[in-house]
Structure 1
Amino acid sequence: MNNDETDEQSVASAAQPFYQLGPDKVMDAVESLGYLCDGRQFPLNSYENRVYQVGIEDGVPLIAKFYRPGRWSDEQILEEHQFSFELQDQELPVVAPIRDAEGRSLFEYENFRFALFPRKGGQGPELDNLDNLHLLGKLLGRMHAVGAVKPFVHRPVLNSQTFGHDAVATVSEFIPAELKLSYDSLVRDLLQAVDEVIAAAGPVAHIRVHGDCHAGNILWRDDNAHFVDLDDARMAPAVQDIWMLLSGSRDRQLAQLSEVVDGYDQFFEFQPRELKLVEALRSLRIIHHAAWLASRWEDPAFPMGFPWFNTVRYWSEHILELREQFAELSEPPLQVM
């Protein structure tokens, strides 16, 4: 192999870190742990990592998750796994990785790090159902009671620097020229407002949280829920996992919040002053999501999965959404009824 070929492969690997992860390699990785695959394999909805349902001879299918190279360190992944095990030990419905006979949960096959999970069926919960929200509040209260026992050491903290200021630096390179001045001015004012809201809230406890607790990461079946995908677990205010369950008009969100908190308080004390952070956290998530798409745009899976991204229309709507968030930051925060 000559140097030019090596350089071309390095560029391809950087742009598409999963380009060598074909079906055969997925099965070879699973079988390296002693399983016998039956040839059935289905990719599941995941972009940051690659996740597959893999059929097993004389057994139920397993879920194989291959971690995006360069995103998390081994220590950070194992810290997420350990959090899952702690939650599972407290009989919380969390889908934790499978451990081998030696207690290992993170494995490597030909430079790909991966983990195996049991398959859990279900669908997204109906968050318009207040009874469902009451149950989810109970589960989050139990989860946060475990999360507050000790901090993450290796995983990051959710803050306005990484989710806001650093994210804007990434996004700014993608903004069309005709919108750049408007965007730069808006996010400067918006992040200043976010920082002021966070400062005004005073000292807020940061605990281990799910970090991405939306309906897509909750499986619902037979009136029971299972939390999946703790890949974004980090240190954050407890309300980070709560506000993502709320939607609709203000009155509707107040009713939803009341149900969540009523269940939550049975297991962990909710801090009402954290509600001041909701719109600031929502603003940071919107900015960070755009930056995530921008930072992954060279991965061919992203233009195929998000064809609407990086168009003038997308950025115009993104700016409008940020303007609405800027207005929301000046509104009174939600209150528990």
Structure 2
Amino acid sequence: MANSKSTEEEPLRKVFNDAMKLFDKIENGKEATNSDAVQMTIKLAISKFEKATNLVSLAGVFSRNESLDELPTDTLEYLLLPALLGTLNLKLCGQPRKDVIHIAEIYFRDFLQRCKDYGVTDVEIPKAAEENDDKQSSSNIPQTNADKITAMVSSREAKIKRYKQTKELKEKLSTLTKAMESPNADDETKRNYFTTLLLNYVNQALDELNSIEEEKPLLEYMSKHGGEPKPKREIAPLKPVIITRDALQKAVYGQGYPALPTMTVEEFYDKRVREGTFPSAANIPHTTIQSSEADRDEADQIRKERLVEDDDEEERQRQRSMDEYKDDHRRGWGNRHNRS
């Protein structure tokens, strides 16, 4: 069994809890999702959930050889990470919508697959429309009207069943949430709560995948007829990352996601250090939890990036002045202390 009692457990818990607070604020907030404040909160929450995902891998919390019963109770909610990242990515604005739903789809499929691997659910993960088209064309058997009607009926029945299940799960979650508020909640209650929460997100993930499939042809139509607004400047495409524990897992997941960039924990951490998201290991241990001041710096960086994306004249002028200052004042030139 994977060792969850590692030195990473405490910082992982804090990072995850901080991210969940932001997630709940976003989900329950009244402000418009496309507002600057909410978008900055969404990006900050995504960043923290990515850090939590990295720490999960570093701590070796999960193993593909385990079943759900073998997982410690306090690690069950970490299975939610791909679903939470998928939910947040769907809320991003200012990015090409086609890229946004592509990333979210990968996260939701990864979440469903992991839940199947651990026996949380036995639900059939729906195929993407393009996969069905490829399968149909390779078989050279045209789909008849009867086949289409049968598929529609099956889909409708599945939606009705899922709707009823979701209603029952929410009622059960409401009861379990109250039980979890008690300081004397036992292990059985906690496992029941987290398992129910996972099943609830399984249904949400299925609904989101269905909505994504319905949105794809609309986006395709809009792109052909100039309906989707073009960004004012070139925006770097979103890139999802499935975190793996080692090179072997990287190869395994790479087979399941051939179009998805995968990387080991070390590769992921090095990449984040280069981007400035994580501190350098030479200065600060990567297990160190960033303080609230660091969180403010991160939010401030996101705000600056937002201003640049929106072609803010004042921000551009500030950066231009800083560049000119650096050109005329090289680092260390002003320090003459103890020099001849």
Q: TM-score, normalised by structure 2?
A: 0.25
Whichever structure has more strand as a proportion of its residues is 1
Whichever structure has more helix as a proportion of its residues is 2
